[in-house]
Structure 1
Amino acid sequence: MKTSSPSPRDKRPERGDATRDRLLTAAIDVFGRNGFDATTTRSLAEAAGVNLQAIGYYFGGKEGLYLAAADHIAQSVATHVGTVRESLEVRLAVSDGSGTLPSKEETRAMLADILASVGRLFTSREAEAWVRFMVREQMAPTEAFERVYTNAMRPILQVVGRLVARLLGEDTASEHVRLRTLSLVGGLLILRVAQGAVEAHLGWKNFGTHETDAVQELARELAASVAREGEKS
């Protein structure tokens, strides 16, 4: 039986989604390179290959597109790391409920898992534009930073912090645990944030199999470095 082709009305949602996606991709790149104030709606539309009016139609204007770009980054990070993070949260909840803490070896393995996941994400090609966008927000935080931090970064830091606290035998909320948590995650993020130094010092121009394997090994070493004073890891 011959089927009829979709009408123009049927195609509109698909076209709309594609236009919206192109604008988000372009916005993350252009805002990351130029900053919010130096970016014009015309440059955004040209980078996305869409009509200027599309920005107002889909996002209400430049600010709306900027915040949507932040939301897109947060969702992407949460999606990539979410499976590992949620698995660890379940394991931690079970151990908390039973009162039986995992061994130090298991805890370090769990910490290595999530650090490796973070390393894989932020050394991926797609993360390059996200990091440029977020570096600007780190220096001068706006609502965009708050959205990414709340919806993507904080859940990761919380899980890492719980694991670090168990290994150190300290309170999760202590300043020391939070500092160690930031230093562990930051030790992996620096590979993308400081790309110039990475290329100059390591000779890494991109992240292929060798580089990815090295980052995974670094994640395991960082996890192994977390130990109480005087305790061998």
Structure 2
Amino acid sequence: MAGKHTSPETRERLLNAATEVFANSGFEHATVRDICKRAGANIAAVNYHFGDKERLYDAIMDRALEQAQERLIPELTGAAGPAEARLAAFVRAFLHRSLRPDATHWLMRLMEREWVAPTAALDRVMERFVLKVRDYLRGIAEELLGARGTPELVSDCVVSVMSQCVHLRTGKEMIKRLRGIRDYDDATIEAMAAHVTQFSVAAMRGLSTAGVSSPAPRRRK
């Protein structure tokens, strides 16, 4: 007779517990013992359902990426309108998802763990999440840069926008001290989102005319 650790319910509890542990601690520092304790299961259950910690993490990341494609990508890339409005909507959605004090959504935290301390799953995260965001931002950059938007310049601008957004999360503790605040509130997040948008739009519009000769000033007679 199969034991309790072989039941589908135990497998689901392990997935839910492992999601929280991996999101909070990262792959390297998460332990099977902690996961099983949170799930109310014994260590043999992980071996039975997944084989080992690495394959349990793979299952978690597959589930995370499925939900990213269903929920997170549409949230980040669903805006319509001119380029500046689409960029503003993306930055606001990303920063609110990442920076709110109560931002405990495991999906974004798992993604962030891969960006900061990558594992073998990073290639899947890139293919199924990051590159889709990149393609959305590429369209915005091409529109703002106009005819001067070479592939290299478009790529640099996309990386700049993404880097600003990610750094505001990964450098959160340093940035709070630089700004002299205890934590990010909605007003602070809105202000930072507006700054990232305005800074990026101004830069791309400036680059779109860089090198274009201006009429020489008229000399007074």
Q: TM-score, normalised by structure 2?
A: 0.73
Are 1:66 and 2:57 an aligned pair?
Answer: yes
Report which stretch shifted further, 47-56 or 18-27: 47-56
Shift of 1:39: 4.6
Letter in 2 for 1:110: R
**In structure 2, distance between residues paired with 1:75 and 1:212:** 28
Of 202, 207, 218, the residue aligned with 2:179 is 202
1:131 is matched with 112
Evaluate the alpha carbon distance shift between residue 146 and residue 192 of structure 1 in structure 2; reply closer, same or farther with a 3 A threshold: same
Contact 1:29–1:133, Cα closer than 8 Å, also in 2: no
Matched, 1:42 2:33: yes
Asked if the contact 1:161–1:181 (Cα under 8 Å) also holds between the matched residues in 2, the reply is yes
2:209 match: secondary structure: coil
Q: What's the offset of the Cα at 1:206?
A: 2.9
Question: What residue is the counterpart of 1:190 in the other structure?
Answer: 167
Tell me the number of residue pairs that the alignment of Structure 1 and Structure 2 aligns.
197
Matched, 1:80 2:72: yes
- Distance across 1 between alignment mates of 2:169 and 2:151: 28
* Uncovered stretches (5+) of structure 2, i.e. residues with no partner: 1-6, 213-221
Q: Does 1:229 align with 2:220?
A: no
The residue aligned with 1:166 is: 143
> Structure 1 residue 24: deviation in Å?
1.7
Equivalent position of 2:217 in the other structure: none
Structure 1 residue 23 displacement after superposition: 1.7
Residue in structure 1 matching 2:44, options 53, 57, 70: 53
- The partner residue of 1:119 within 95, 100, 123 is 95
Conservation of the 8 A alpha-carbon contact between 2:134 and 2:158: yes
- The 1:49/1:197 distance shift into structure 2, 3 A limit, reads farther
Displacement of 1:223 after TM fit?
4.4
Contact 1:161 1:178 in 2 (8 A): yes
Shift of 1:177: 0.9
1:121-179 residue CA offsets vs partner (Å, 9 max, x unmatched): 22242245642443001xxxx43101111111110111101110121125877122111
Q: Comparing 55-64 with 190-199, which one deviates more in the overlay?
A: 55-64
| 1:161–1:172 CA contact under 8 A, matched in 2 | no
What per-residue deviation string (whole Å, max 9, x for no partner) do you get for residues 28-82 of structure 1? 323x2xx53x554224333555321232233331111222333344345442342
Give, in whole Å, the separation in 1 of the partners of 2:159 and 2:39.
35
Query: Does structure 1 retain, via aligned residues, the 8 Å contact 2:14–2:46?
Result: no
Aligned CA distance change for structure 1 residues 48 and 210 (closer, same or farther; 3 Å): farther
| 8 Å contact from structure 2 (residues 21, 30) kept in 1 | no
Aligned to 1:4: none
**Aligned residues: CA RMSD:** 3.0
Distance 1:207 1:129 in 2: 20
Name structure 1 gaps, 5 residues minimum: 1-11, 92-101
